[in-house]
Amino acid sequence: MARVQTKFFGSLEYSPSSVFLFPGGLPGFEEQREFVFLNLPERDPLIFMQSLSTRNLCFVLLPIFVVDPQYGLDFTPEELIELNLPLDRPPAIGKDILCAAMIGSAEGATPTANLMAPVIVNLKERIGAQVIHGDSGYSHRHPLLFEEPALTC
Amino acid sequence: MLVVWRRAGQSVMIGEDTEIEVLDARANRVKLGIKAPVSIAIVRKEALLTRNENLTAAWSMDEVSIKSLLSRLPR
């Protein structure tokens, strides 16, 4: 077991088999290639995407269906190849891939999720990328309101 | 916003040095060729938006905002 210094949880043990490789990094963080995903019961359903090389870099993500239960995304063949995913069928979220939205919280504003560019991870091959779909109709700043559904009589 | 109709093969100039040419135009997308000085960064808008969101996400989430977010989430 190796240890990683984390932004929020101190020093944690991790298994080398739980490291995910992002060959192209992420937009704005192109040099960051290796991450571990932390899913702590007391912070469920949040996913913490901790950089292995930079202690202070830890993205907070939400599974895409927590943000939008109807979410759907069509991958291009280039994206499937980039993620080492089979070309003959669409990948199943939760089974083949993790699909999660990056959360940001600009000062004083409602936190938002980037649904336009979800973080996708091939769970079997442990390869990830942020897939940018500018024409998907999804917002890069989807407000996380989670309002209670209106009661109907 | 300035709006101009162009056909494939036609261009617009932005200043003296930047040219945007329509190389191909199809029903739902166009192929653009851009000639510009190397000092000008050219990036797809959605990639720039995502870069900015990533930078915000990296610095904005702290213990306080995480607790606040958890309290909003449906359990």
A53-72 tens-digit pLDDT? 999 999 999 999 999 999 99
Q: Do B31 and B47 sit in the same domain of this protein?
A: no
Whether residue A148 is predicted with pLDDT greater than 80 in this model: the reply is: no
What's the predicted TM-score (pTM) here? 0.87
Domain of residue B63, residue span: 43-75
For chain A, the structural domain boundaries read 2-143
The pLDDT assigned to A146 comes to 73
How many domains, chain B? Answer: 2
Residue of A139, A150, A133 lying closest to A67 (CA atoms): A139
Whether residue A17 is predicted with pLDDT greater than 90 in this model: the reply is: no
Q: Would you tell me which CATH number, out of the four given (3.50.50.60, 3.40.190.10, 2.30.290.10, 1.10.10.10), belongs to the domain A2-143?
A: 2.30.290.10
Q: Do B49 and B31 sit in the same domain of this protein?
A: no
Q: Do B11 and B27 sit in the same domain of this protein?
A: yes
Question: Taking all residues of chain A, what is their mean pLDDT, rounded to a whole number?
Answer: 92
A69 CA: distance to closest CA in chain B (Å)? 12
**E strand spans, chain A:** 2-6, 10-14, 19-21, 34-38, 47-51, 58-63, 97-104, 112-113, 119-122, 127-130, 142-143
Whether residue B75 is predicted with pLDDT greater than 70 in this model: the reply is: no
Partners of B54 on chain A (C-beta within 8 Å) are 26-29, 59, 102, 114, 130
The pLDDT assigned to A107 comes to 75
What dihedral do alpha carbons B60, A134, A54, A106 form, nearest 10°? 0
Q: What is the identity of the amino acid at A54?
A: T
Whether residue A150 is predicted with pLDDT greater than 90 in this model: the reply is: no
**Do residues A99 and A91 touch, judged by C-beta distance below 8 A?**
no
A95 CA: distance to closest CA in chain B (Å)? 22
The pLDDT assigned to A153 comes to 56
Question: Taking all residues of chain B, what is their mean pLDDT, rounded to a whole number?
Answer: 93
pLDDT tens-place string over residues B20-37: 999 999 998 899 999 999
Q: Do B31 and B49 sit in the same domain of this protein?
A: no
Q: Do B32 and B49 sit in the same domain of this protein?
A: no
Partners of A68 on chain B (C-beta within 8 Å) are none
Q: Do B8 and B32 sit in the same domain of this protein?
A: yes
The pLDDT assigned to A144 comes to 92
Whether residue A114 is predicted with pLDDT greater than 80 in this model: the reply is: yes
Q: Do B2 and B27 sit in the same domain of this protein?
A: yes
